[in-house]
Amino acid sequence: MEQRKGRRLILFPVPFQGHINPMLELANILHLKGFSITIIHTNFNSLNPSSHPHFTFHSIPDGLSESEASSKDILFLISVLTAKCVEPFRECLASLLSDVSEDPVACLISDAIFHFAQSVADSLKVPRVVLRTGGASSFTVFAAFPLLREKGYFPIPDSRLEEPVAEFPHLKVKDLPVIKGCDSEEYFQLADGMSNGTKSSRGLIFNTFEDLEEQALGKIRQEFPIPIFPIGPFHNCFPAASSSLPLATEDKSCISWLNGQAPKSVVYVSYGSIVAIKEAQFLEIAWGLANSKQPFLWVIRPDSIHGGSQWLELLPNEFLENLNGRGHIVKWSPQKEVLSHAAIGVFWTHSGWNSTLESICEGVPMICMPCFTDQMVNARYVSNVWKVGLQLEPGAERGEIERTIRKLMVEKEGEEIRARSLKLMEKANLCFKQDGSSYQSLDGLVKHILSLES
Ligand code: UDP
């Protein structure tokens, strides 16, 4: 570890798994660089300080009612948190800034989505640096929403889904990062807030690397008047201890099950921490997996099927009886450990940014089945730009699923995709070597933070 720098960083994550994981990984990286770390977190999905004894934690009341806190509507939750957290956050930050018994605060680092943190930071005269936990390519699309709206892309009509987006040649209209049926004013305001709040900040950190998203990073550098720091993949730099929320206990049984499988034979299926699917789609997935004849490890969260059914109630006896140990189902896996296991051949993912990066870092080809927001952009880049995976359309039926799995696992097309995945993995691993792009960018970030004045 580097010598303590006598400076403190205050970090403020958005309380969802895909946002907390990278923020905690970043905290660990910056702690290794000599900063003391204080984390402000909401009561909702609250963090467990005992898992991170080297950090100081402060919990703020978020004012969510019980029914609000149990909502599965992510946009609603973010909107309520954004409205209710402002004052508690301001009070907590003000009291931390006035505490002279601790190291002086160098800056606040907060999630791009909590854009209200910018005006709070301005009013308390503390510099704010933004962490965007999603990819740079999708960020450029969010930043272009005002232009895309002006050009009439939204709401997206079914007749235009397959058209290319002139402003983003890699994307089709159906890849634009919205939540289907919910591209409301509120959603666009959130995206504008994220983009404008970031423009007023003192720097932008990405969990990505130059070689992966060079073009998008170049565009952001032109459009955002602040320094940009692509210092990912974070977990490659700091293999963090588990940062799963208390709601999700990692089921390690899958590792012993994987130990008994042949190399590169298993399809790992997980749709992250938020996505939920319809019963009919769930059954198609089950039969597609069974008919592919490949072994599979499937993460089925208890809340991942619409309508609240549990998988055991839904899967027919015929399916369960014929498995013969060929499938293993868990509620939550130690995903990074799973992806690094020699038995994994393919990752069937919802294309969340963390899952995408984790797969890239292990050279595991992907089957992408995106559901909403940036997942569609990530999936398009995986399948058409980096060409390290294939896409399945939402609502894919068992025959298509079976064909896609076999294409990737056993056919010639799959061989080429696997070879490209390994090449991309090498690039991901090089960027943290001395003089690699993320290594240098991290050095730049540390210097930048130390140079910030309120
Ligand atoms: N994850 C995990 N176990 C699981 C499923 C997911 O540890 O069974 C982790 C995964 O490694 C990733 C995060 O949860 O770091 C999910 O983030 P992502 O951005 O992929 O998707 P989101 O949950 O935000 O939709």
Q: How far is CA 447 from the centre of its chain?
A: 27
Q: In the Cβ-directed half-sphere of 313, how many Cα atoms lie within 13 Å? A: 7
Coil/strand/helix, residue 198 = helix
Would the CB of 25 count as within 6 Å of ligand 1? no
pLDDT tens for each residue of 14-73: 999 999 999 999 999 999 999 999 999 999 999 989 889 999 999 999 999 999 999 988
Choosing from 51, 298, 355 the residue with most ligand 1 atoms within 8 A of its CB, the one to mutate for a pocket test is 355
CA distance 41 to 47: 7
Query: Which DSSP string corresponds to 245-304?
Result: -TT----THHHHHHHTSPTT-EEEEE-TTT--B-HHHHHHHHHHHHHHT--EEEE--TT-
- Out of 239-248, 341-350, 410-419, least confident range: 239-248
Choosing from 268, 350, 354, 361 the residue with most ligand 1 atoms within 8 A of its CB, the one to mutate for a pocket test is 354
CA distance 56 to 249: 23
Would the CB of 327 count as within 6 Å of ligand 1? no
Looking at residue 236, its pLDDT comes to 87
CA distance 407 to 446: 45
Would the CB of 333 count as within 6 Å of ligand 1? yes
pLDDT tens for each residue of 313-337: 899 898 888 888 899 999 999 999 9
Would the CB of 201 count as within 6 Å of ligand 1? no
Looking at residue 257, its pLDDT comes to 97
Residue with CA closest to ligand 1 atom 6: 272
Cα–Cα distance list, 278 to 18, 174, 305, 308, 371 (Å) = 22, 20, 6, 10, 12
Percent of the chain at pLDDT above 90?
84
On average, the pLDDT of the chain sits at: 94
Residue with CA closest to ligand 1 atom 2: 335
Question: Which ligand 1 atom lies nearest to the CA of residue 356?
Answer: 20
Retrieve residue 318's tokens. Answer: 């015929």
Question: Ligand 1: distance of its center to the CA of 50 in Å?
Answer: 21
Question: Which ligand 1 atom lies nearest to the CA of residue 301?
Answer: 8
pLDDT tens for each residue of 266-277: 999 999 999 999
pLDDT of 6 above 70? yes
Question: Which ligand 1 atom lies nearest to the CA of residue 331?
Answer: 8
CA distance 195 to 115: 8
* Single-letter code of the amino acid located at 214: E
Retrieve residue 119's tokens. Answer: 């005006």
pLDDT of 239 above 80? no
Would the CB of 287 count as within 6 Å of ligand 1? no
Partners of 315 in the beta sheet?
none
CA distance 297 to 299: 7
Number of helices (H), then strands (E), belonging to the chain: the values are: 20, 15
Domains along the chain? 8-237+432-451 (3.40.50.2000), 252-428 (3.40.50.2000)
Using an 8 Å Cβ cutoff, are 343 and 267 in contact?
Answer: no
For the beta carbon of residue 359, count every other beta carbon within 10 angstroms.
27
412-430 helix and 353-361 helix, angle to the nearest 10 degrees: 90
Cα–Cα distance list, 305 to 271, 309, 313 (Å) = 11, 6, 11
Would the CB of 270 count as within 6 Å of ligand 1? yes
CA distance 17 to 352: 11
Question: Which ligand 1 atom lies nearest to the CA of residue 270?
Answer: 5
CA distance 133 to 110: 10
Partners of 164 in the beta sheet?
172
